[in-house]
Chains A and B, each alone.
Chain A
């Protein structure tokens, strides 16, 4: 079945640093790909998505490009803020699209 692999955390950065969180996937066909974010004490929120190869999803300064050649969907942000501290999950639909499979999550800590 479809699966994702994320880089392990925690990732600790200084404010305004460049962020990359790696995500690679294994899938049948070309499913949509998602990044979800979980702030402390809250549920998961959709951060961005891409629905087909070469699509770039973007939101709140975060970007991720759906690359079928490398089966990757890496999350990037040019300048992180303390408020970006959270756990980030890469995900894709499985089982005919009726459920999501998530990576193990990458915790990001941004310090002043």
Chain B
């Protein structure tokens, strides 16, 4: 696709429900990132994939958060037993291996999660 696609755009969950957020990166991009953006704040890193390998998950706030990218393309961020503090916009970004584009990340529009 032309850009990073995320779905759903909006998700309302009751406290305790499990949710799954999808990210479809730019075709051919090796790197994939998930960020959490609280209201009025900058994005905070959650996890990073290179192809199907999850190389860094240091930003995941608890073991209720789980991410996967089994075929090195589409990724899913899963949150189990959602809590109100999980309410945020979840952003996905992808990046090229091209050294000229080093560190440049292309972002999707995000999924706004509201936990009631």
Interface residues of A in 62-112 (CB under 8 A from B): 89, 91, 93, 95, 97-105
Contact: A102 with B43, CB < 8 Å?
A: yes
- The interface bits of chain B over 49-61 (1 if a CB of A lies within 8 angstroms of the residue's CB, else 0) are 0000001101100
Is residue B105 contacting chain A, with contact meaning CB distance below 8 A? yes
Nearest to A93 among chain B residues (CB) is B103
**In the complex, how many angstroms separate the beta carbon of B73 from the nearest chain A beta carbon?**
19
Complex: chain B residue closest to A94, CB-CB: B45
B4 in the interface, Cβ–Cβ < 8 Å?
yes
Query: Total interface residues on B, using CB and 8 Å?
Result: 26
How far is it, in angstroms, between the C-alpha of A109 and the C-alpha of B44 when the chains are bound? 24
B interface residue numbers (CB < 8 A to A): 4, 6, 31, 33, 40-45, 48, 55-56, 58-59, 91, 93, 102-110
Q: Is A17 an interface residue (CB 8 A)?
A: no
Q: How far is the CA of A97 from the CA of B108 in the complex (A)?
A: 20
B56 engages A95 (CB within 8 Å): yes
The listed residue with most B CB atoms (<10 A of its CB), out of A36, A97, A99, is A99
Chain A interface residues toward B at CB < 8 A:
31-32, 34, 36, 41-46, 49, 51, 89, 91, 93, 95, 97-105
User: Is B104 a contact of A99 with CB atoms below 8 Å?
Assistant: no
Kindly provide the distance from the CB of A10 to the nearest chain B CB, expressed in whole angstroms.
Answer: 11
A41 touches B41 (CB 8 A): no
Q: In the assembled complex, which residues on chain B have CB atoms less than 8 Å from the CB atom of A34? A: 103-104
Other-chain contact of B106, A46, A101, A102, A104 (Cβ < 8 Å) = A46
Smallest CB gap from B55: residue in A: A98
25 A-B pairs within 8 Å (CB atoms) are namely A32-B103, A34-B103, A43-B6, A43-B108, A44-B93, A44-B107, A45-B107, A46-B105, A46-B106, A93-B103, A95-B56, A97-B103, A98-B31, A98-B55, A99-B45, A99-B48, A99-B56, A100-B33, A100-B45, A101-B45, A102-B44, A104-B40, A104-B41, A105-B40, A105-B42
